[in-house]
Structure 1
Amino acid sequence: MKLRGLPVAADVGVRRTVMICVHVALWTASLLGAYALRFDFRIKPEHAQILAISLPFLLIFRLAAFYFGGLFRGLWRYTGARDLVGIVQWTSLSSAAYLLFLHFGIRGFSRSVVAIEWLTAVIVIGGVRFLARFLYARRFVVAEPGLSRMRVLVIGAGDAGEMLLREIQKRHAARYEPVGLVDDDRAKRGEQIHGIRVVGTIDEIPSVARELRVDEAIIAVPSASGAQMRRIVDLCKQASVRFKTMPGVDQLIDGRVAVSQLRDVDIEDLLGRDPVKLDMVSISATIAGRVVLVSGAGGSIGSEICRQVCRFGPSALVLVERAENNLFHIHRELLARFPKLELVPCIGDVSDAQRMAAVFERRRPAIVFHAAAHKHVPMMEWNPGEAVKNNVFGTKTLADMADRYGVERFVMISTDKAVNPTSVMGASKRVAEIYVQALSQRSKTRFVTVRFGNVLGSAGSVVPIFKEQIAAGGPVTVTHPEMTRYFMTIPEASQLVLEAGTMGNGGEIFILDMGEPVKIADLARELITLSGLTPGEDIEIVFSGVRPGEKLFEELSVDSESADKTGHPKIFVGRFRPHAWEQIQRQLHDLAASVDHPGEVRKRFAEMVPEFKQPVAAVPAPADRPAAAASSSDRPIAPRAATA
């Protein structure tokens, strides 16, 4: 706390002076106590004389040792094991110096006094510091008037549970009262962590919660799989207790637990994917010290790629985005998090060749992550020409600039909808893949494509739409009972994009392991349940029919690509499929000429992508047929039907 009326420097000086005076008094008392103990509290005049002569030298040795050890700079309320080690270390060093002084300078001294004084000094100096920490922590135990403490059950008696208990007892004891822990390790039953007993296993949560009158459970298992999280959540619901969770191990701040990080269990936790293990050395070697450009920098994937790139120390990050507001937000966030990094916000459309040439000319990026794209399937069915402009020719423009300006690596973000596409959006991304692969055969730039499925929580995706519908009281609309999709989290996808970007020699299509597909109807039920409601009772689920261009099941690769393993367990690589450059140029010319004619666009796509199959009936105009029509239920249907 700052002393009133004193500047900060004076405040620190006064505090340090007081600290030194306290130490001097304690060391003096330690030496006096050592003589008293050694001689049964009957100190002879000759020993008193030695004490008086040697005390100043002991204090000088101690002050010098503690000063050089930095032990006068710590705040006592944060005293820990490291401070205790320092006290023992520097007390021992100064005691050794004191012993040498006595040996060569004073006759008749008692060596046992030095040993007793050393032990006493360690005990009193360490004890006073830990007492200060204890008294400071007690400030947070007194509950506010009229506010009862919440009785908390901690699920998980491992390192995370221990850190959580320590944090609660240290800073939040006025709000939370830990009453027990549960853990699947039966050997821990009956053991205590910071005075809190392990009272049972996770399966016993319902009975433990009733017995201990638990108000809230905190899940302290940051490495829990999706299946484990679903099991814990179900048990908490059976116990009728509220529940929160800690963030995943990759999201903990410096590996430490903070109560402020506790949050509600989200659908990402229930789907539960293992944390990504990155080759930090390879990624750092690729990105560190280089100029990196990210297109679509304000989008869900693009913004996360920017966050991940910043961790590896590029010399500059160029953010290309045509939506001014999105660019403003990601630029402001990155400025706050990485103030020393040069950030270059560029408003621009990737299909604007003149603007892109100006950006490349001025900034000369070494690495490009191309995440700009139109992604909504029905929107591209209704506006196929825009899919051509942005997804095909926007990619072509950016790839051509990368080739012209000598970019080292170009990483294009693609989608599982490009595999055997049934939609305009999927076909447009497949054509973009083909062009990038063909260009890689003629360029020194390493062009690679990274293909993956849906990401949880991205703008306009299924999870935010479901949450909106639940908040509005329902119904939750799903297109088809058997509709399934692959899912991964935004950070996971972005991290794997960076990893894949370090691989390959050019022309490869890298395919991310998306795990097991998830039924959209099951996803809807989980979200309703997480909201504290019951599917079919509180919130209805209705089926609206498959929308234009949608498939019931998505695929990640075609047979001819025959994806092979790479050095990373979650990244596969498709075999290269050569493409004739002249033929592609001619087909792109024809595609550009048909951009304002939807029927011609689909025809050109079918020529370029033979596997593109689209039923004619699946392409209505938006004015003719609302998105949620053709329901399989008699209930009223919300105007928005969600899919992935």
Structure 2
Amino acid sequence: MPETTSNKQTTGSKSTLTRVLFVIDALIWVIALFFAALLRYEFEVSSVNWGTFAWFAASAIVLQFLVGLVLHIYRKDLRFRTGTFEDTINVSLVVGSVGIILWFTSIILSSTLHMSRGVMIIATLIALVLVLAVRTVARMRVERARRPALDSTPTLILGGGYIGTNLIQWMMTDPASPFLPVGVIDDDPDLLSRRIRGVPVLGTFEEIAKVASETSAEVLIVAIGDADASLLRKVQDVASKNGLSVKVMPAIGQVVAKGIRGNDLRDLSIEDLLGRQPVETNVSEIAGYLTGKKVLVTGAGGSIGSQLCTEIAKYGPSELIMLDRDETGLQQVLINVAGNGLLDTDAVVLADIREADTLKRIFEDRRPQVVFHAAALKHLPMLEQYPDEGWKTNVLGTLHVLQAAAAVDVETFVNISTDKAANPTSVLGHSKRVAEKLTAWYGTHTGKTYLSVRFGNVIGSRGSMLPTFTRLIQENKPLTVTHPDVTRFFMTIPEACQLVLQAGGIGRSGEVLILDMGEPVSILEIAQRMIKMSGKDIDIVFTGLREGEKMHEELVGEGETEDRPFHPKVSHAHADSLSPQNLDKDQFMARIGKSNNKNVEHS
């Protein structure tokens, strides 16, 4: 590949720098030897053998170049940047090696060269000090030239640890950085009044307002690796009161692996304020039942299904079969998993779980060993209007998938359920509860691992509350909240999928595994925070609870236990079973208080 102009310029500047450094080092050795000789002979110039002096000076220059090449201080690639700790060590080794070689030479050839051994010791010390001083000055000049422009945004760094230090290092050495660090905020008393990469530590978290006022800071960057949602909410509240915009850093693992990059900084999002610390999953338990297996995912084009497919692909299944009735959704998940959306592969299957015969043929043809059933209708108010559709998809559709799985001896079947199945009051809750019972029955009668996993609202899933609020704010429309006191459980899509995969590895047949969602969150608080973050004046309209909707969701139903034998974030409950022979639509409709002609009435 031909070199670009910028590459040639960079290579040329490095080459020039190495030449300049060598010339300076050569002059330093001459100067060091000269002053060492003067000192040794008490400034009696006539006592110096200038021929021998010239020989040692030439030898020092040659040795400095050769040893310098070996230890990379004169290579064009400059493996270690000038003036860094690594460069200092290598430069010291080079100068020390040259001095030792010439010192031994002065001993061995003392009768011939007439050079005092003390001269070389003094010269080596002088040369070392001068060489290091030159590189220190050079680095200071380079860093000063690389500092952000004075018109860059004055910025406070919250956290003076590893991430904060690396962040400041990047800012102070990148002239294109839009941020100029003016102070560090940290509660560690040992850091107070100290400087980190030249930036002073000005106060604690409680003093942000005072520090922001004194420094005229406009941005606050959170550089704390384990910052949880509680801390981030406090940060946002303090920042909003003091006119600071908030940005956050990536996880510490990414910083360690890749260092700091400009595009790593991002605005604080509502997901940050709702999320929790990442839940640890046991990869060996997940890989144990997925690696080398044929895995099928229903509802693969949905938010949960597509992320499941992405996660499953990491564990090396022999085949990943993605099934959905939404062709656009299948194209998107194929892009995520395979890197293309050509749809000319049997990895994607266009089918509807309502079609029992179709599912049976697909399962008999592909013979999956592990099935994740994520296909469902999930919008509560829509199913309240059209309960028959909930019956067809969430109940009969699940039954069809279970029948097809049992017919080909699927080893592990994971049904994705919802918190609304706990003490259900809605069509959605009742239909998913029946799906849990059917799954439990098949687990008992197949002897295989058939189980359900129950969790609440997933942040950012398609059609969920957060994307809806975001769009309404963008369009300057009021946010609709059912009730000022309503709360819901939330978790991120990746976290939900990781725990679903974990549950498939530790779950036992017939169980309902309930994922720990943390504390429920006020919907009104979310709406208020999103409006505050937008900087707009948006109204909030209360509409009242909808039919079938609870004020506060539950994860555990009456009579269900919360035993956690394997994972601290996964509870195991025994699910009641329901035989397919006892499945009765009339009883289902009666239980939810709907008539069979509800669909007709709303058509």
- TM-score interval for Structure 1 and Structure 2 normalised by the shorter chain: 0.7 to 0.9
> For 1:235-274, what aligned pairs fall within 5 Å after superposition?
235-247=238-250, 249=252, 254=257, 256-274=259-277
**Corresponding position of 2:569:** 570
Between Structure 1 and Structure 2, how many residues are aligned?
A: 586
**Corresponding position of 1:195:** 198
* Structure 2 counterpart of 1:135, one-letter code: V
Is the CA contact (8 Å cut-off) linking 1:378 and 1:548 kept in structure 2? yes
**Corresponding position of 1:138:** 145
Cα distance in 2 for partners of 1:127, 1:367 equals 66
Please say if 1:467 is aligned against 2:465: no
Please say if 1:511 is aligned against 2:519: no
> Could you say what secondary structure the match of 2:232 adopts?
helix
Measure how far apart 1:165 and its partner are.
Answer: 1.8
**Corresponding position of 1:169:** 172
Cα distance in 2 for partners of 1:19, 1:372 equals 63
Cα distance in 2 for partners of 1:71, 1:286 equals 51
> Could you say what secondary structure the match of 1:561 adopts?
coil
Is the CA contact (8 Å cut-off) linking 1:35 and 1:43 kept in structure 2? no
Which whole-Å deviations, capped at 9, do the CAs of 1:227-252 have from their partners, x for residues lacking one?
32222222222212333333455776
Cα distance in 1 for partners of 2:49, 2:356 equals 94
Please say if 1:584 is aligned against 2:579: yes
Identity rate of aligned residues, in percent?
34
Please say if 1:209 is aligned against 2:208: no
Measure how far apart 1:586 and its partner are.
Answer: 0.8
Cα distance in 2 for partners of 1:222, 1:269 equals 13
**Corresponding position of 1:558:** 557
**Corresponding position of 2:299:** 296
* Structure 1 counterpart of 2:579, one-letter code: I
Q: What is the TM-score when the length of structure 1 is the normalising length?
A: 0.76
Please say if 1:530 is aligned against 2:533: yes
**Corresponding position of 1:634:** none
* Structure 2 counterpart of 1:540, one-letter code: D
Cα distance in 1 for partners of 2:300, 2:549 equals 27
User: Structure 1 residues 140 and 57 mapped into 2: Cα distance closer, same or farther (>3 Å)?
Assistant: closer
Q: 1:614 aligns with which of 592, 598, 601?
A: 592
Is the CA contact (8 Å cut-off) linking 2:103 and 2:120 kept in structure 1? no
**Corresponding position of 1:476:** 479
Measure how far apart 1:503 and its partner are.
Answer: 0.8
**Corresponding position of 1:384:** 387
Is the CA contact (8 Å cut-off) linking 1:155 and 1:182 kept in structure 2? yes
**Corresponding position of 1:159:** 162
Q: 2:488 aligns with which of 485, 497, 506?
A: 485
Which whole-Å deviations, capped at 9, do the CAs of 1:98-155 have from their partners, x for residues lacking one?
8599689964495984897599579858965994796388356346xxxx32222222
Cα distance in 1 for partners of 2:107, 2:459 equals 75
> Could you say what secondary structure the match of 2:267 adopts?
coil
Cα distance in 2 for partners of 1:402, 1:354 equals 13
Cα distance in 1 for partners of 2:297, 2:245 equals 41
Is the CA contact (8 Å cut-off) linking 1:27 and 1:121 kept in structure 2? no
User: Structure 1 residues 476 and 77 mapped into 2: Cα distance closer, same or farther (>3 Å)?
Assistant: same
Cα distance in 1 for partners of 2:130, 2:360 equals 70
Is the CA contact (8 Å cut-off) linking 2:298 and 2:322 kept in structure 1? yes
Cα distance in 1 for partners of 2:355, 2:425 equals 28
User: Structure 1 residues 273 and 14 mapped into 2: Cα distance closer, same or farther (>3 Å)?
Assistant: closer
**Corresponding position of 2:42:** none
> Could you say what secondary structure the match of 1:514 adopts?
coil
Cα distance in 1 for partners of 2:259, 2:411 equals 38
Is the CA contact (8 Å cut-off) linking 2:460 and 2:493 kept in structure 1? yes
Structure 2 runs not aligned, ≥5 long: 40-47
User: Structure 1 residues 433 and 84 mapped into 2: Cα distance closer, same or farther (>3 Å)?
Assistant: farther
Measure how far apart 1:195 and its partner are.
Answer: 1.4
Measure how far apart 1:616 and its partner are.
Answer: 5.2
Cα distance in 1 for partners of 2:102, 2:359 equals 75
Measure how far apart 1:485 and its partner are.
Answer: 1.4
Is the CA contact (8 Å cut-off) linking 1:331 and 1:343 kept in structure 2? no
* Structure 1 counterpart of 2:152, one-letter code: R
* Structure 1 counterpart of 2:37, one-letter code: F
Q: Which has the larger radius of gyration?
A: 2
User: Structure 1 residues 406 and 237 mapped into 2: Cα distance closer, same or farther (>3 Å)?
Assistant: same
> Could you say what secondary structure the match of 2:154 adopts?
strand
User: Structure 1 residues 438 and 519 mapped into 2: Cα distance closer, same or farther (>3 Å)?
Assistant: same
Please say if 1:547 is aligned against 2:531: no
Q: 1:368 aligns with which of 371, 376, 397?
A: 371
Measure how far apart 1:305 and its partner are.
Answer: 2.3
> For 1:409-420, what aligned pairs fall within 5 Å after superposition?
409-420=412-423
User: Structure 1 residues 431 and 212 mapped into 2: Cα distance closer, same or farther (>3 Å)?
Assistant: same
Measure how far apart 1:483 and its partner are.
Answer: 2.2
Cα distance in 1 for partners of 2:400, 2:92 equals 64
Cα distance in 1 for partners of 2:452, 2:194 equals 52
Which whole-Å deviations, capped at 9, do the CAs of 1:298-346 have from their partners, x for residues lacking one?
3222222233334444455433332222222232234459xxxx99333
**Corresponding position of 1:596:** none
Is the CA contact (8 Å cut-off) linking 1:224 and 1:272 kept in structure 2? no
> For 1:14-413, what aligned pairs fall within 5 Å after superposition?
35-36=33-34, 38-40=36-38, 45-46=51-52, 48-49=54-55, 63-64=69-70, 66=72, 73=77, 81=85, 87=90, 91=94, 95=97, 99=101, 107-108=109-110, 113=120, 124=131, 131=138, 135=142, 138-139=145-146, 141-142=148-149, 148-171=151-174, 175-247=178-250, 249=252, 254=257, 256-336=259-339, 344-353=347-356, 356=359, 360=363, 365-413=368-416
User: Structure 1 residues 345 and 73 mapped into 2: Cα distance closer, same or farther (>3 Å)?
Assistant: farther
> Could you say what secondary structure the match of 1:441 adopts?
helix
User: Structure 1 residues 516 and 21 mapped into 2: Cα distance closer, same or farther (>3 Å)?
Assistant: same
Measure how far apart 1:348 and its partner are.
Answer: 3.0
Q: 1:454 aligns with which of 442, 452, 457?
A: 457
> Could you say what secondary structure the match of 1:455 adopts?
strand
* Structure 1 counterpart of 2:558, one-letter code: D
User: Structure 1 residues 381 and 162 mapped into 2: Cα distance closer, same or farther (>3 Å)?
Assistant: same
Cα distance in 1 for partners of 2:276, 2:218 equals 29
Which shifted more, 131-140 or 479-488?
Answer: 131-140
Q: What is the TM-score when the length of structure 2 is the normalising length?
A: 0.81
* Structure 2 counterpart of 1:586, one-letter code: Q
Which shifted more, 12-21 or 265-274?
Answer: 12-21
Cα distance in 1 for partners of 2:366, 2:94 equals 57
Cα distance in 2 for partners of 1:404, 1:137 equals 72
RMSD over aligned CA atoms reads 4.4
Measure how far apart 1:447 and its partner are.
Answer: 2.2
**Corresponding position of 1:610:** none
Is the CA contact (8 Å cut-off) linking 1:316 and 1:343 kept in structure 2? no
> Could you say what secondary structure the match of 1:511 adopts?
strand
Measure how far apart 1:161 and its partner are.
Answer: 2.2
Cα distance in 2 for partners of 1:111, 1:280 equals 64
Structure 1 runs not aligned, ≥5 long: 592-599, 607-612, 626-644
Measure how far apart 1:558 and its partner are.
Answer: 2.1
Is the CA contact (8 Å cut-off) linking 2:29 and 2:60 kept in structure 1? no
> Could you say what secondary structure the match of 2:309 adopts?
helix
Is the CA contact (8 Å cut-off) linking 1:511 and 1:557 kept in structure 2? yes
Cα distance in 1 for partners of 2:339, 2:133 equals 39
User: Structure 1 residues 532 and 620 mapped into 2: Cα distance closer, same or farther (>3 Å)?
Assistant: farther
